[in-house]
Amino acid sequence: MSRLYDTIVIGAGWSGIVAARDLSKAGHSVLILEARDRIGGRARTYTDGMHVPVDLGCSFVHGYKEGNPARDIAKEFGVKTNVCQLTERQVWRSSKPEPPSVEHKLVANLGAARSSAQALAQSASPPPSPLTPLSEALFSQQSPLFADIQDKELAVSFARSLEVPLGVVLEKASLRWDGWENNFAGSDAAPEGGFQRFLEKIVDESKKDGVEVRLGEAVKKVEKSQEGVKILTAKDGEYTAKTVICTIPLGVLKTNAKTLFEPPLPTRRLETIAGTHVGVLEKLVLAYPSAWWPDAAKASPYIHLPSETRQSEAKDAKSVFRQNTFILASFAAPVLPQQHPTVLFYISETPALALEKFSAEEVATAGHEFLVERFAVGSAPKPTGHVLTNWRTDPLALGATTTPSIVGEGRSPLDFVELGKPLWGGSLGFAGEHTDANHRGSVAGAVVSGAREAERVAKYLNKLKET
């Protein structure tokens, strides 16, 4: 007879680990089943060929000084975090940076345009149609984006940098719901050693409280049973519990939600899963023997704008870099205490999709050659290490994180609330960044949702004891 756990948590990412920790501290028996051979989920820290560990998934605790609960968890487990310092931002479209006056104007105008769009979303009567994209407000002739800027294409290209944090092109993002979230923002911080090590410390301590973790256990069926819930895995494992918390990423749920659960999920839940959008954001990291790029000791980020007209199909990988907007972070600048000669491209949806047909080696070579060309240095040392993420095609992620609500009838931030509602009378719960309306797409969303479900499940289990 297999053991009957109080709770089985599916997934050893942020939300699952937080939920397991809280439940075990409350005296409940918990088993975590993780499909990967490591913990962390979309928190992945990379070290091969790097000067220091580099996070390829979640990278920062946003709103560190503004209430993000990850800060308290870091303090609890003795994880040192460093608050990011502001450094000089540069905008490049050719072989020399735009003048500081132009950079300041682009930043100010984009901020004003976004504020104007959000004011329109909140106060317009009638409100914007759910089919109206954010791009329509940002790029309208009256938009503050173009105030005192003669080169409108320059302003549009700079605005495309928003597609990195949004995870979606501006033509898909919903104007009606832009800025709806009340999320943690302001200061950013990064854990020393990376997020994966941070989570490993939590898991190690949680094991002392009785949490069991089984890696390489991909769940293939979640069944409602007389005891509560039965879990079947691809390795023919069978586990039973009174409750289950599912933290499977939304991208994966989009592919298996119809067949994973028995009885099947309600139609409304399935429709919400299908209609909520998973974003595209990839990272290319290049580590060098020395920092050769201009102003390396003081500048980051470098916003690279297109120098070529975008083609329907790029002839080579370097053309993709020339034809799109990229944010390039430089770790040689004093953003964090330990500087090192490494750069990181944030690759938004359009260029990420265009680069998928090239190998990681080809993309890394193209990224390096693009920087040498853009910075007009003549020659530069080749990277000593590189890595390119593939979150969109990773079968255990199938995307980066959820995006804000996209255009479409019936879509709204309430979709995230729906995704987090328990089913089966409370024995089946859901957590993860995609289940938190205010903090979706962030570490905070995962942490908040994990704590939320742990509290709810603890009450449910206590009620079972009373009956």
Q: Token pair of 325, please? A: 């907007």
Same domain, 251 and 132: no
Same domain, 286 and 382: yes
Task: Report, as an integer, the average pLDDT of 41-61.
Answer: 96
The predicted structure's pLDDT at residue 379: 86
The predicted structure's pLDDT at residue 391: 98
Same domain, 100 and 69: no
Domain contains 400: no
Mind listing the pLDDT tens digit for each residue in 136-192?
Answer: 999 999 999 999 999 999 999 999 999 999 999 999 999 999 999 999 999 999 999
Domain contains 139: yes
Domain contains 67: yes
The predicted structure's pLDDT at residue 310: 84
The predicted structure's pLDDT at residue 233: 97
Same domain, 177 and 291: yes
Does the structure show a pLDDT above 70 at 466?
Answer: yes
Task: Report, as an integer, the average pLDDT of 231-242.
Answer: 96
Contact indicator for 51, 342 with CB cutoff of 8 Å:
yes
The predicted structure's pLDDT at residue 314: 84
Same domain, 304 and 358: yes
Does the structure show a pLDDT above 60 at 263?
Answer: yes
Where residue 462 sits, what CATH number does that domain have?
3.50.50.60
Q: Give the length of the chain.
A: 467
Where residue 366 sits, what CATH number does that domain have?
3.90.660.10
**Which pTM does this prediction carry?**
0.96
- Residue 383 structural domain: 88-186+282-388
Long-range Cβ contacts of 71-78 (<8 Å, 24+ apart): 71/189, 73/18, 73/202, 73/447, 74/191, 74/198, 77/198, 77/201, 77/202, 77/205, 78/201
298 falls in which pLDDT band (50, 70, 90)?
A: very high
Domain contains 394: no
Domain count, the chain: 2
Domain contains 250: yes
| Contacting residues for 155 by C-beta, under 8 A, at least 6 apart | 106, 109, 110, 145, 146, 149
The predicted structure's pLDDT at residue 55: 98
The predicted structure's pLDDT at residue 73: 97
Same domain, 412 and 338: no
Same domain, 299 and 180: yes
Task: Report, as an integer, the average pLDDT of 427-435.
Answer: 98
Task: Report, as an integer, the average pLDDT of 198-219.
Answer: 97
The predicted structure's pLDDT at residue 318: 96
Does the structure show a pLDDT above 90 at 195?
Answer: yes
d(CA 459, CA 461) in angstroms, rounded, equals 5
Same domain, 162 and 288: yes
The predicted structure's pLDDT at residue 309: 87
CA 291 to chain centre: 28
Does the structure show a pLDDT above 90 at 133?
Answer: yes
The predicted structure's pLDDT at residue 409: 93
Same domain, 178 and 293: yes
The predicted structure's pLDDT at residue 467: 79
Q: Which amino acid is present at 117?
A: A
Expressed in percent and rounded to 5, the helix, strand and coil fractions of the chain are 35, 20, 45
The predicted structure's pLDDT at residue 459: 98
Domain contains 54: no
Mind listing the pLDDT tens digit for each residue in 85-106?
Answer: 999 999 999 999 999 999 999 9
Does the structure show a pLDDT above 60 at 1?
Answer: no
Task: Report, as an integer, the average pLDDT of 196-223.
Answer: 97
The predicted structure's pLDDT at residue 196: 96
Among 388, 419, 442, where does a domain finish? 388
| Contacting residues for 105 by C-beta, under 8 A, at least 6 apart | 148, 149
331 falls in which pLDDT band (50, 70, 90)?
A: very high
The predicted structure's pLDDT at residue 378: 84
Same domain, 424 and 377: no
The predicted structure's pLDDT at residue 336: 96
The predicted structure's pLDDT at residue 4: 96
Among 339, 358, 388, where does a domain finish? 388
Same domain, 178 and 106: yes
Mean residue pLDDT across the chain: 96
Measured CA to CA in angstroms, residue 332 lies from 48, 89, 322, 327, 373 at distances of 19, 13, 23, 15, 20
The side-by-side arrangement of strands in the sheet containing 188-191 is 61-62, 188-191, 81-83
Does the structure show a pLDDT above 80 at 2?
Answer: no
Domain contains 395: no
Domain contains 52: no
Among 357, 388, 419, where does a domain finish? 388
Same domain, 193 and 248: yes
Measured CA to CA in angstroms, residue 137 lies from 112, 115, 143, 155, 169 at distances of 12, 10, 7, 14, 14
Task: Report, as an integer, the average pLDDT of 423-431.
Answer: 98
